[in-house]
Amino acid sequence: MKARSVNGETAASLAARLKGGDRAAAARAISWIEDHDPRADEVLKRICAGAVRSHVVGVTGPPGVGKSTLIAALVDVARRQGVRVAALLVDPSSPFSGGAVLGDRLRLEAHAGDPAVFVRSLASRGAVGGLASAIWGARRVVETLGAELIFVESVGAGQADVEISRCADTVIVALMPGLGDDVQAIKAGILEIADALVVNKADLPDKDRTLASLRAFWADDAEAGGAGGGWKKLLLQTVASRGEGVPAVWSAIQRHRDYLGRSGEGATRRLRQARAEILAHLEARSRREWISLVGKEAERLAAGRTDPVSAADRLLARPARRKAARRRA
Ligand SMILES: Nc1nc2c(ncn2[C@@H]2O[C@H](COP(=O)(O)OP(=O)(O)OP(=O)(O)O)[C@@H](O)[C@H]2O)c(=O)[nH]1
Ligand SMILES: [Mg+2]
């Protein structure tokens, strides 16, 4: 095989290696996506033919509740069933996360030699829009690699996660006992997007109080899960570090997947995902274009010679004028 340097690799060769199941190629493709390397778009063009086939499970929730531990336990179950999996861990680059990514890696290291498990953390580099588009691209990459089930972990701290959950077919929100006040705060936002709520660390003493405060809004596993045709949001409890309750979460994911296929909700979500995926690319690209165009107007604004609204108006009129001029020519 011809030796290739990082810079010598072309989109075509990388895409070909990816399709052949080369994990190093997948890691490189995701780095290109994160770095906004122009070759990343070329790779995506080559690998995104056909409909999405994988099932994406988003796992979100406050820092430290055990999201990575839960994912590692679910990966164990998946592998026992012969399912090919990927885990994409979004590094929020926040003070909370500290060495968490390293910890995640260690926990999932048990699978390091397993060619059917691909684990990768994604750095947000501070940009929500950039992060969203990196997730979409990474999902395409790991699917090309052969992943049938893709876990996406993110810290449930606001808008970024709602965005991330848009690329998930099944959304799991993880909590832990003792988050009483937080539950009130979280309920309004992140809980709305959840298909299943998992109270992890059920070995801790505050468990019953936390469960009781959630039960008013959520159904226990035994009485729910779409019996009447619809999907009743599930409330589950786990001790992920010991694997307890994890099979029930696994079965909830399977039932939700069945429900999506049966009810038409899956098609609705896929369409919503397609819209969001295109919008993420549009946002990333138009931001890059605007950054290169904004300089002169910024100088005028900084010097007090214009206002921001008029500056934006003039910039927005530019491509339209160019197009109109081309049409006239
Ligand atoms: N007591 C107890 N500890 C747990 C359980 N699950 C995970 N932990 C521990 O909780 C800590 C945090 O777990 P992580 O899986 O890293 O949590 P996380 O939500 O991924 O954390 P961030 O990614 O930093 O937001 C680790 O020390 C785990 O070992 C559990 O069920 N019970
Ligand atoms: Mg984690």
* Six-digit token string for 90: 């979004």
- Report CA(88)–ligand 2 centroid distance (Å): 10
Residues 57, 184 contacting (CB under 8 angstroms): no
Ligand 1 atom 8: residue of nearest CA:
66
What pLDDT, on a 0 to 100 scale, did the predictor assign at position 311? 96
Note the pLDDT tens digit of each residue in 96-114. Answer: 444 445 555 555 666 767 8
Note the pLDDT tens digit of each residue in 123-174. Answer: 755 554 456 668 889 999 999 999 999 999 887 665 556 666 778 999 998 9
Residues 183, 175 contacting (CB under 8 angstroms): yes
Mean pLDDT of 50-63: 86
- Ligand 1 atom with the smallest distance to the CA of 70 is 15
Residue 1 has pLDDT above 50, yes or no: no
**Of 135, 69, 61, 142, which is closest to residue 108 (Cα–Cα)?**
69
SS (H, E, C) 42-110: HHHHHHCCCCCCCEEEEEEECCCCCHHHHHHHHHHHHHHCCCCEEEEEEECCCCCCCCHHHHHHHHHHH
Beta-sheet strand order (sheet of 234-237):
117-123, 85-91, 149-155, 55-61, 170-175, 196-199, 234-237, 219-220
What pLDDT, on a 0 to 100 scale, did the predictor assign at position 45? 95
Residue at 144: amino acid letter: T
Residue at 258: amino acid letter: D
The listed range with the strongest mean pLDDT (6-10, 123-127, 179-183, 211-215) is 211-215
The helix (run of H) or strand (run of E) holding residue 226 is none
**Of 26, 12, 41, which is closest to residue 122 (Cα–Cα)?**
26
- Report CA(61)–ligand 1 centroid distance (Å): 11
Residues 122, 31 contacting (CB under 8 angstroms): no
Ligand 1 atom 9: residue of nearest CA:
66
Among 102, 199, 241, residue to substitute to test ligand 1 (most atoms within 8 Å of Cβ): 241
pTM of the predicted model as reported, rounded to 2 decimal places: 0.86
* Six-digit token string for 167: 């690329």
Question: CA-CA distances (angstroms) from residue 204 to 208, 235, 253, 310?
Answer: 9, 17, 25, 57
Note the pLDDT tens digit of each residue in 297-311. Answer: 999 999 999 999 999
Share of residues in the chain with pLDDT > 70 (%): 75
Phi-psi region of 224 (alpha: psi -120 to 50; beta: other; left: phi over 0): beta
> For the ranges 35-44, 68-77, 180-189, 265-274, which has the lowest average pLDDT?
180-189
The helix (run of H) or strand (run of E) holding residue 192 is none
